[in-house]
Amino acid sequence: MKTLILELQEQNKKLQQQITSLQEQVELLKNGRKSKTSSTPPSHDYSRSNQRSLRKQSNRKTGGQIGHEGTTLHMKEIPDEIVEYRPDYCNQCGAILNSEEYKMVSRKQEIVLPPVVPKYIEHRSYTCTCGVCGGITTGESPEYLKANVQYGPPIAALVGYLSVRQYLPYKRIAEFMNSFFTLPISEGTIDNMIAGLTRKAEPIYREIKSRVEQSSVVGGDETGIKINGKKAWLWTFQTQFLTFLVASMTRGYETISNVFQNGFPISVYVSDCLPAQLKIQTLAKQICISHLLRELNNFIDVFNCGWSEKLKQLFQEAILLKSELHPDDYLSPNEKVNSIRKRLDRLLDEPSFDKHKKVQTFIKRLNKHNGSILTFLYHQKVPPDNNGSERSIRNAKVKMKVSGGFKSYEGAYRFAVLRSYIDTTVKNSQDVFNALCLLAMSPAAE
């Protein structure tokens, strides 16, 4: 009997340990693994209503703030059309009114869109024989005119704009063109236009890649996409003024090594903690602090971890200090920066045996990449987060939601090329549609 009791006690102890472990996993699923407390995408949130922003709540009311310049419509000095409303009879006695007594009492303008109809431009080339030497000279039409009848560059630019900038699928683009412009463009023609724009953009795409390689600060990230129903990835390598996107079937390091064989030897590389990202050869690295803060929020919510509270406060102080530093502060050691550096080292050196295993794993990761945590405090142009990279590929998720995915790798490649061109245009404060018109009118790459 005594032996049986001991066996049952041991069995009960193991069951209690299993229950505790399962309860922790349930808490992580319910409260922890959310887009605001981890790298989990919003679509995978267990309870999306529990999302919490990393930003602290202010005391300001929602809406426009004091001093904010509002915008309003202004009247056109010379309107395109005038509609006048003159009464014919007196509404008091019914007498006919004298036209000489009219006095304008109000003016109102409305803005409307006129019907847009296709414009057919006929290009005629003529030859002429020289009266001096007898030579025959022919007037040359624009190089982009290949067929007897074809759609002009602005139409191809609009198709590219709707597909890559506004993320519409081919079927809805065809519907839009027919409804608004009475142009019955087929999906095949739309595909040919996208292909033509891609060929013309490829030299610029390669130039963007070259300039990214030569930049002092580069951000990198990746996101999942669908190609022919299979999981694939869209990678971004971007700077303040450039975006270079790459479609790939893998999330591994081979994608980076195939595109950037030498890595970024003269760049500070900003990314999350994906091993493939951290494997890149660089001058220095900066781990995204926003990602770390989300994980710390996770530990605070689920494990009530005091150590995580202290590290979170340190990161927030470091980000605030970054906004206060002047250019001269990066030229020599800064006392405040050194203080934060020492506090971080002390926190990472604290014994971790009493912490949850997930927190222990987190601490080991930070110790492994300790030299890449506060890089932004030593380099003026290095941000503390990787938000710029996330913004540059967030559009791919919108494309997936609206269009459903890419039918082939070629389609994903075209999106990467044209989206790189468009995003770079936006970063340089250029008009996207005008830029696409210029691209459509340019000669195709050899």
pLDDT tens figures, 92-138: 998 988 877 888 999 999 999 988 899 999 999 999 999 999 999 99
Provide the CB-side half-sphere exposure for 329 (13 A, CA): 17
Q: 44: pLDDT confidence band, cut at 50, 70 and 90?
A: low
> Best-predicted range by mean pLDDT among 51-65, 194-208, 431-445?
194-208
pLDDT score, position 2:
74
> Binning pLDDT at 50, 70 and 90, where does residue 333 land?
confident
Quote the pLDDT of residue 47: 47
| 337 has a pLDDT exceeding 80 | yes
* Pair 412, 406: CB distance under 8 Å: yes
pLDDT score for 65: 75
Mean pLDDT of the chain: 90
What's residue 3's pLDDT? 80
Q: What is the pLDDT of residues 220-264, one digit of tens each?
A: 999 999 999 999 999 999 999 999 999 999 999 999 999 999 999
Q: How confident is the model at residue 19 (pLDDT cuts 50, 70, 90)?
A: confident
Return the pLDDT at 20.
Answer: 75
Asked whether the predicted pLDDT for residue 416 surpasses 80, the reply is: yes
Structure tokens at 311: 């590290």
**What pLDDT, on a 0 to 100 scale, did the predictor assign at position 131?**
92
Nearest to 406 by CA among 175, 220, 166, 164: 164
Domain residue spans of the chain: 153-214+398-441, 289-382
Q: Which range has the worst mean pLDDT, 67-76, 138-147, 162-171? A: 67-76
Q: What is the mean pLDDT of residues 14-37?
A: 69
Q: Is the pLDDT of residue 418 over 60?
A: yes
pLDDT of 41 higher than 80: no
Q: Is the predicted pLDDT of residue 271 greater than 50, yes or no?
A: yes
% of the chain with per-residue pLDDT over 90: 73
Q: State the Cα–Cα distance between residues 369 and 350, nearest whole angstrom.
A: 16
Token representation of residue 65: 């703030």
**Contact status, residue 246 vs residue 255, Cβ threshold 8 Å:** yes
Residue 32, pLDDT above cutoff 60: no
Give the pLDDT of residue 280: 96
Least confident of 26-40, 42-56, 354-368: 42-56
On the question of pLDDT at 48 being above 50, the answer is no
Confidence band of 45 (pLDDT split at 50, 70, 90): low
Report pLDDT for 444. 76
| 361-393 pLDDT per residue, tens | 999 999 999 999 999 999 999 999 999 999 999
Mean pLDDT of 44-64: 60
User: How many other C-beta atoms can be found within 10 angstroms of the C-beta atom of residue 5?
Assistant: 9
Q: Is the pLDDT of residue 79 over 90?
A: yes
Mean pLDDT value of segment 276-296: 97
User: Cα separation of 324 and 334, whole Å?
Assistant: 12
